[in-house]
């Protein structure tokens, strides 16, 4: 399993029922080392959504603006551990939906209380912590032991197989006769 140089990746608009939280999370993540690697103004890299997920260990998944939100599935398919920030989300095909389904979302994702992250943690003018004792989302992710991260990554790989719509094919299977 290749190392992932980015602790977390998040990019979304401030909309839906959780618009305030999305604004706070976006602003906080701009002040972290992960964001400095994936979202840069000027000379730095600006990574697209899927590429960002593929280099990140964790992908925050706040509540969506519709029941068809798919960020958590995109995260799994990109090999990124979803951090669910919604009390209402239920993983389909899991014991959250039907106890007979057998697979437990705690094996491949985290579920955190969005209320714990509703207050800004950084002075956004200079990216310094408001309270040194509370590092917010980044600090919470950094506190997860490496063994737990590896367990979740193994679970995420297995879950990606369950939630993928298409059989995995090598890139050459998509090539046309003319090479295009």
Q: How many domains does the chain have?
A: 1
Q: Let me know if residue 149 belongs to a domain.
A: yes
Strands 6-8 and 56-62 turn out to be parallel
Q: What is the largest CA-CA distance in the chain?
A: 60
Q: Let me know if residue 180 belongs to a domain.
A: no
pLDDT tens digits, residue range 27-77? 888 888 776 655 554 444 556 777 788 888 999 988 765 655 688 888 998
CA atoms within 13 A on the CB side of 180: 1
pTM of this prediction? Answer: 0.81
Q: What pLDDT is stored for residue 82 in this prediction?
A: 94
Q: How far is the C-alpha of 139 from the C-alpha of 175, rounded, in Å?
A: 44
The C-alpha R_g of the chain, in whole angstroms, comes to 17
Q: How far is the C-alpha of 154 from the C-alpha of 133, rounded, in Å?
A: 32
pLDDT at residue 179 greater than cutoff 60: no
Structure tokens at 23: 């604004």
Name the least confident of 20-24, 79-83, 133-137, 165-169: 165-169
Q: How far is the C-alpha of 100 from the C-alpha of 46, rounded, in Å?
A: 43
pLDDT tens digits, residue range 88-129? 788 887 877 777 777 888 999 999 998 888 888 888 788 888
Q: Let me know if residue 125 belongs to a domain.
A: yes
Structure tokens at 178: 């003319």
CATH number at residue 19: 3.40.50
Q: Let me know if residue 77 belongs to a domain.
A: yes
Please, which residues bridge with residue 61 across strands? 84
- What is the extent of the structural domain holding 129? 6-174
Contacts of 95 (CB under 8 A, 6+ apart): 101, 102, 103, 104, 105
């Amino acid at each position: 399993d290749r190392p992932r140089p980015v602790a977390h990746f998040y990019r979304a608009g401030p909309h839906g029922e959780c618009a305030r939280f999305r604004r706070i999370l976006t602003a906080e993540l701009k002040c972290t080392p992960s964001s400095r690697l994936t979202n840069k103004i000027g000379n730095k890299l600006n990574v697209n959504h899927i590429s960002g997920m593929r280099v990140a260990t964790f992908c925050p998944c706040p509540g969506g603006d519709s029941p068809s939100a798919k960020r958590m599935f995109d995260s799994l398919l990109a090999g990124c551990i979803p951090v669910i920030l919604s009390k209402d989300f239920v993983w389909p095909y899991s014991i959250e939906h039907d106890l007979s389904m057998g697979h437990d979302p705690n094996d491949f994702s985290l579920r955190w209380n969005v209320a714990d992250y509703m207050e800004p943690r950084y002075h956004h003018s200079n990216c310094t912590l408001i309270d040194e004792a509370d590092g917010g989302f980044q600090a919470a992710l950094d506190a997860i032991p490496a063994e737990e991260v590896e367990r979740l990554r193994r679970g995420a790989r297995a879950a990606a197989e369950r939630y993928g719509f298409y059989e995995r094919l090598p890139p050459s299977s998509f090539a046309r006769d003319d090479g295009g």
